[in-house]
Structure 1
């Protein structure tokens, strides 16, 4: 364990933006493997818990690709408080992709070409102007397409943390290969809380352990619009927490040594050859005066293990990224889970994994 460096919490990089929280992977009654989970219930729950955005991504194979006349046509798909994305889970022989968009698009075309070669799908994605997010890359329905197709990847699927460890390793492999690939979460919730005790089923009980926000993805968008949120997620300006009441992790850095934290998650700079000061911050939520364990990952390997200060809820470390090499840094936060009263059983399933950051990049731009 390397020693932590005291911090006085200088400001974040000087850029306009807002943190928004939501869930990118949810199934409603329009997925045939869902139960007691109408869209109105999902949206009402999300609003009651203070979420900002939501993507209901039903299985397109269940309606032969016709999501426009099922999920999107549902009169309950509306909210005055949430940014609601249009999307669906492309369910293909090579795995699952969440297709995400700010508005309606021709999903039937994607469905009809789901078994095409990757370069054809890439051309179609660009033509339609949609976001491809690689779903649960290490499960039995793993993402089996090229990661060059993906705009983001689901690094945390559902409340059961241990099943995600192999997927995070795959993400590290992609980052190590030179891809700047934004990581996100998604509950993949299929089942809703019963409306009355007599409606309780084994499936509906799952909603007390895995529902909206387990995990929660925090996105730093330039403004509160759907377009800005998708842009930010693709850029990796995001982090993931086990639930919406856990702290949000922010990874920042002072890459030029002027005392100002001028890098945030998703940023890519040319290293100067001088030491860089990094700072990990836990913001909002969490357990009062708790100390959290910070695991720093550099280029797929563990670089350091630190403990946050209970007062500032932050910790610093220093490293010198090489000028002639590519490097990325990200962090994992472990510690006590904050209660999520509406989904009480999720805490035990997430174990001690509290949050994950997206990386900071050095020398990833070919122009450098």
Structure 2
């Protein structure tokens, strides 16, 4: 059942104290030995011109023997007056790759040295250092092979080529179905600077010509525009991912008590009342004017329904009744025409018709799990 859209959309009470920010959680500079044409000044300068709010340059620690503090972070180019720069690196180990993220410098050498330890030892170390561990590209050849109980978030959209991410999204769904509240993010995993001239594009691979800052873009709803608030919101799942920064941001809300006010947003977890819940999908900013976008709703890993946004309000509503004694989650995927990304034009075709996806709304989840 699709409730009719009101002439005036209700205000989102409870969500006014916050700010949406956009950025990229997975990037490689010249300090990764498999990178090219990508000094930090080029990455950060591009992000500044594009109006990004935050970045995480996560060079492979194995390339610098864990000493990222003396390479990536110590580089004089690692600075910005407008973009919030997280300290981090990509832990590159036999069991896969983890992005380590932090608001302040930390002792990455200790994590590098413990990369083959048992998960519970790594968990203690993570807690001691106060860092965020994000599971990278869980379905690739360098898949995340550690316990997901160790992860604070998971990368479900890696790079501009959407089809390669579908198995990773399935793994994420498996983790959500198992009862984990696991925030999802994107990351371009860009290793190479965008070509300086159009003539350079033709002979280059997709990785070198179509993948750069913001392919995809992760949107975060944080209490304030600060690194601690952004990292906390990522862990909470108050985020969505778009294939590029010119595409709309998807937002998912719910009215649990039927009063016409949306009390839940992505990442929230409540006990259901036994009454129908009205869910609302909103597309904000960007996109193709007048376009209708397809909305695919996923409930507990399975398709729940497919809808089409209203072209004017760019909104869809649907209802369902989460069971009182059941654990349920809902998330959405958006398909439609790609908005051009003129600065990285080759990325559009690689993303196909996948525009955006949301983090879930949770019902009856155990937040301690």
Is 1:10 aligned to residue 10 of structure 2? yes
8 Å Cα contact 1:19-1:219 kept in structure 2: yes
Q: What secondary structure does 1:356 align onto?
A: strand
Gaps of at least 5 residues in structure 1 are none
**CA gap 1:344/1:50 in 2 versus in 1, 3 angstroms:** same
Residue 31 of structure 1 aligns to a residue in which SS?
coil
- Quote the residue 1:262 is aligned against: 263
Structure 1 segments (4+ residues) deviating >3 Å? 2-5, 194-208
SS at match of 2:163: helix
In the alignment, the residues of structure 2 paired with residue 48 and residue 205 of structure 1 have an alpha-carbon distance, to the nearest angstrom, of: 23
- Residue 5 of structure 1, CA deviation: 3.5
Q: Please name the residue that 1:105 is paired with.
A: 106
Deviation at 1:365, TM superposition (A): 2.7
The 3-state SS of whatever aligns with 1:311 is coil
Task: Report the CA distance between 1:303 and its aligned residue.
Answer: 0.2
Listed one character per residue, the Cα deviations across residues 10-64 of structure 1 (whole Å, up to 9, x for unaligned) are 1124231000000000000000000010000000001111100000000000011
Name the CA shift for 1:71/1:167 in 2 (closer, same or farther; >3 Å): same
Quote the Cα distance in structure 2 between the aligned partners of 1:165 and 1:202. 27
Q: What is the correspondence of 1:263-282 to structure 2 with a 5 Å cutoff?
A: 263-282=264-283
Q: Does 1:157 align with 2:193?
A: no
Distance across 2 between alignment mates of 1:184 and 1:43: 20
2:140 is the counterpart of 1:124: no
TM-score, normalisation: structure 2: 0.96
When structure 1 is superposed on structure 2, of 330-339 and 198-207 the one drifting more is 198-207
* Cα distance in 1, alignment partners of residues 35 and 4 from structure 2: 49
Equivalent residues in 2 for 1:153-302 (5 A)? 153-195=154-196, 202-203=203-204, 206-302=207-303
Structure 1 residues 141 and 82 mapped into 2: Cα distance closer, same or farther (>3 Å)?
Answer: same
Seen in structure 2, the aligned counterparts of structure 1 residues 169 and 197 have a Cα distance that, compared at 3 Å, is closer
Aligned to 2:73: 72
Give the conservation status (yes or no) of the 8 Å contact 2:242–2:356: yes
1:348–1:194 Cα change, 3 Å: closer
Alignment check: 8 A CA contact 1:216 1:241 kept:
yes
Indicate if the aligned counterparts of 1:13 and 1:263 stay in contact, CA closer than 8 A. no
Residue 37 of structure 1 aligns to a residue whose secondary structure is: coil
Q: Once the two structures are superposed, what CA deviation does each residue of 1:135-156 show, in whole Å capped at 9, x if it has no partner?
A: 0000000000000000000010
Q: Count the aligned residue pairs.
A: 366
Instruction: Give the Cα separation in 2 of the matches to 1:171 and 1:214.
Output: 20
CA distance in 1, matches of 2:248, 2:4: 21
CA distance in 1 between counterparts of 2:204 and 2:75 reads 23
TM-score by length of 1: 0.97
Deviation of residue 75 (structure 1)? 0.3
CA displacement 1:161-190 (0-9 Å, x = unmatched): 000000000000000000000000000000
Superposition RMSD in Å: 1.5
Taking a change above 3 Å as real, the CA distance of residues 203 and 331 of structure 1, as seen in their structure-2 partners, is same
**Counterparts of 2:11 and 2:341, CA distance in 1:** 30
SS at match of 1:280: strand
Q: Which is worse superposed, 162-171 or 198-207?
A: 198-207
